[in-house]
A and B are shown apart, each in its own frame.
Chain A
Amino acid sequence: MSRAKGGCPGAFWVLAVLTACAMALPAGAAELKVATIAPDGSQWMRSMRAGGEQIKERTAGRVVLKFYPGGVMGNDSQVLRRIRIGQLHGGAFTAGGLAERYPALNLYGVPLLFNSLEEVDFVRARLDPKLAAGLEAAGFVSFGFSEGGFANLMANEPIRNVDDLRRKKIWVPEGDAISFLAMESLGLSPVVLPATDVLTALQTGLLDVVANSPVGALVLQWHTKVRYRTELPVSYAMGIFALDARAFDSLTAEDREILREVMGGVMRDIDRASREDNRRAAEVMTNTGVAPIAVTNTDIEGLRSTIETIYPTLRGRADVDVAMFDELLAVIAEFRAQQAESSPADPGR
């Protein structure tokens, strides 16, 4: 962490320099350098900067957050490398990106795990604190997670069930081993590409079917190249703002508390806003000509029961936290049992 940024020169320096120094950080101030791919000026960055201002004020300038927006510090794994060598102190990551350090963060993203956002809320209320504690033990202090939303299938032909996916070129994000396994279990041939190559791949016919949240699809402009969006909760995405525990622990207890309180509030606001963002983005996609395709429970069940056949394989993987996975499945089962009890006519799945 850079302390006493700039190191003010001695009193014999000219007045102009002294004035400039007065505006620099107070001696002993901690500057926490944080990277994110969110563009400057986006709602995410505005909230983060507002949080940073509050922290600076409440710690009387002892803690200053410096942001590197727009992915200027690289992708998740590059940011993690920079944190390891002390160039950065934190970042806003995708859950998958930070799973490199704490694999349990991948679990919410297992394909077709959740049926609905109500299930997500039930599960997250129980397991988010456990995941945050696990992440902290792995060396990262987070201040709560923010929803990225459900990825939906998008294509130029309506996709309703697994048969509609056959013989199609289906995108799997680079580095997403679990989705790759899931596609293979369905007997499909996934095409692995980074998200930034998808638009061109849709244009050239290298891909037929892609998946993203409505917000993600609009930002990446995929809505200009697909005609249908299947309202199937394919997988749940999450964002995490986390600081290197070494940097965090070097702050005073009082400042750590302020940081937790302020950034915790910022993350809760972003988490809530994200749900509304995706709802509105889905509506906008429809308005721009991307037709929503509803799926039946039977179709979802067919897809899910096939995907569940990969669970034993998942359990055998080194990057899967088996205990947490089982707990996650148990919490989902508990929610579905409660639902079934309160409305016996609806099996809840």
Chain B
Amino acid sequence: MAIAAARGRSRRRPVGIPFAWALLSLALACLSGCASLVGGMAADTLQAAILDQNDPELVASGVPAYLLLVDGMISRSGDNEDLLAAGAQLFALYGSRFEPDPARVVRLTEKARGYGERALCLAHKPACSWRGLSYDDFVSQLQTVDRKRIDYLYAYAVSWLSYLDATSEDWSAVAELPWVEAALERALALDETYAEGGLHAYLGILNSLRPPALGGRPEVARQHFERAIELSAGRDLSAKVEYARRYARMMFEQDLHDRLLMEVLAAPVEAEGLTLFNVLAKQEAEQLLATSGEYF
């Protein structure tokens, strides 16, 4: 199913200090044992620096060091929900987009999922006992999460999704998808504009995983993709790529497919919080366009 995980980031502004300083303060903070005070903030800065990067190779080679750092900080300050949420998204991002070895992808995203669960549990106590809930109970529990906790709900859902994507060969991943979808639906109900419309993009993907004959809802998927593009004012190129790859291919709409991808190739990559994904989206758009004639 290859779902692009951790594609958005929280809308909190990253702290306004240069990245090297952030790293230094992070290291100092770790050394001085007060990581819990700055951990979340520093991890957020890391995340911003990564997501605004236009060189995927640099991210691929550089991020593992940050992951180790974040891991170390979490082991010292395991009760910092901001740090855990950032860790969940970083591990999900690296695992699902950059790590080539499938076995390691499973390990990385499993860790992401664990951090996401812990973050939400710290921020919203009832969530500590959500694992194993029946679908209906889970959906009713989600109603207890309010807007103030959306960062953690988002980190929880996308890190879980990254794990399901990594383990998509197993039937448990197929089985758990409705739970993740419900969590994303709840976040969407709290704030549909969150993560530049990224929630809509994820729901677009989930609703186009199955064809209509197997219970998929392409029309719902289409509406989500359209809204994701609208909310990001067209700056989120990966929403267009997923729209083409998932919806247009499934519905055999070649005109839509090719139009979306041409738009991606013509658009600028630089967009705050989206640059890295936009660079990757352009690469994917080229590949999808190259196989368009063969597919349709």
**How long is the Cα–Cα vector from A281 to B1 in the complex, in angstroms?**
17
Query: Is the beta-carbon distance between B175 and A39 smaller than 8 angstroms?
Result: no
Q: Known A39-B214, A41-B1, A71-B213; judge A277-B250 contact (CB<8 A).
A: no
CB distance from A218 to the nearest CB of B (A): 5
Number of interface residues of B (CB under 8 A): 27
* Chain B 121-160 interface mask (CB, 8 Å, partner A; 1/0): 0000000000010111000000000000000000000000
Question: Which residues of chain A from 189 to 235 have any CB-CB distance to chain B below 8 Å in the complex?
Answer: 195-196, 199, 214-215, 218-221, 223-225, 227
C-alpha spacing A110/B249, complex, angstroms: 37
Quick check: A280 and B251 within 8 Å, CB to CB?
no
Which residue from A40, A195, A215, A220 sits with its C-beta under 8 Å from B249? A40
Q: Chain A contacts of B176 at CB under 8 A?
A: 288
Query: Is B57 in contact with chain A by the CB < 8 A criterion?
Result: no
Interface string of B162-184 (1 = CB under 8 A from A): 00000001111011111000000
Q: Is the CB of B2 within 8 A of A223?
A: no
A224-251 to B contact mask, C-beta < 8 Å, 1/0: 1101000000000000000000000000
Question: Known: A39-B209, A39-B250, A72-B251. Contact between A285 and B214, CB under 8 A?
Answer: no
Residues of B near A223 (CB, < 8 A) are: 135, 175
Q: Which of B134, B171, B213 contacts A37 (CB 8 A)?
A: B213
Task: Tell me the complex Cα distance, A205–B213, Å.
Answer: 22
The complex places the Cα of A37 from the Cα of B210 at a distance, in Å, of 9
> Assuming the A-B contacts A40-B250, A225-B135, A289-B132, are A71 and B211 also in contact, with contact meaning beta carbons closer than 8 angstroms in the complex?
yes
Write out the residue numbers on chain B whose beta carbons fall within 8 Å of the beta carbon of A227: 134
* A9 CA to B250 CA, complexed, in Å: 31
CB of B139 to closest CB in A, whole Å: 9
Closest to B138 in A: A224
Does A70 sit at the interface, judged by CB under 8 A? yes
B252 at the interface (CB under 8 A from A): yes
Indicate if the CB atoms of A71 and B172 lie closer than 8 Å.
Answer: no
Q: Indicate if A68 sits at the interface (CB-CB under 8 A).
A: yes
Q: In the assembly, what is the distance between CA of A288 and CA of B178, in Å?
A: 11
Name the residue on B nearest A24 (C-beta).
B293
Q: Are A221 and B1 in contact (CB under 8 A)?
A: no
B215 at the interface (CB under 8 A from A): yes
Q: Is the CB of B215 within 8 A of A196?
A: yes
> Which residues of A have CB within 8 Å of B209?
39
Do B170 and A280 touch (CB < 8 A)? yes
A219 near B250 with CB under 8 A, answer no
Name 5 interchain pairs, CB-CB below 8 A, sorted by A.
A39-B250, A75-B213, A218-B171, A281-B171, A288-B134
Binding site for B on A (CB under 8 A): 37, 39-41, 43, 68-72, 75, 195-196, 199, 214-215, 218-221, 223-225, 227, 277, 280-281, 283-285, 287-289
